[in-house]
Amino acid sequence: MVATDPTTLPHSGDEDSAKRQQIMDGARRVFMDLGFDGASMNEIARAAGVSKGTLYVYFADKHSLFEATVEQECLSHGRLAFNFDPARDTKTTLLDFGRAYIEVLCRPDGGSAVRTVMAIAERMPDVGRRFYENVIALTMHRLATYLGEKVKRGELAIDDCELAAAQFTMMCQATLFQPYVFQVRPSPSPAQITTVVESATLMFLTHYRAKN
């Protein structure tokens, strides 16, 4: 049996859920290692430890399997618990968030996920759009909401919090993300991340801290 709509295929019991997750875990490794075009259903089946026939029970084709793995990446990122409590000190919050954000963005498979989605976005624009909205834009919006609360409290002077949030995340990526995502350098060390994030935080607060 071949699923005509893999995202709505009904499964019964924990065994089916575990098998589907097993397939997606294998597929994710293959997509991250080989990219969308380099990945094949045969290779995915081998990586997942299932037969090719079993693979097609759960997913109709490579496109639907790729969409499912990207969707899972989006959901996983959406559950990340950055601490944006408005009562927290601004500098501490920015430092903690910046380090955590870069650690997620530059984890061993994180950059590969970005590369893979970027490579296929022109052919599968809905996938690229969902990844951007649910991973990149969502994180910046959370930070912008926190900054907005600090503006209300008179601690920061920011006219456009969405722009300011984007500026901070990009400053935290400086010298770290692009060399990593283009495979020039490996994942940055905690010390390298701290150095860049501390500099980004200083620059950000120098510009946006309210002048009392």
The domain ranges of the chain are 13-74, 82-208
Please give the CATH number for the structural domain made up of 82-208.
Answer: 1.10.357.10
pLDDT score, position 10: 45
Lowest mean pLDDT among 6-15, 80-89, 173-182: 6-15
- Asked if the model's pLDDT at residue 64 lies above 80, the reply is yes
pLDDT score, position 14: 66
Contact indicator for 90, 96 with CB cutoff of 8 Å: no
Q: Are 13-74 and 82-208 equal in CATH topology?
A: no
Lowest mean pLDDT among 71-85, 120-134, 171-185, 196-210: 71-85
Tell me what percent of the residues of the chain surpass a pLDDT of 90: 69
pLDDT score, position 141: 96
Six-digit token pair at 82?
A: 């950055």
Backbone angles phi, psi at 8, to 5 degrees: -120, 10
Q: Confirm or reject CATH 1.10.10.60 for domain 13-74, answering yes or no.
A: yes
pLDDT in tens, 4-26: 444 444 444 567 889 999 999 99
Residues 129, 23: Cα–Cα separation, whole Å: 24
Q: What is the mean pLDDT of the chain?
A: 89
| Residue 209: strand, helix, or coil | strand
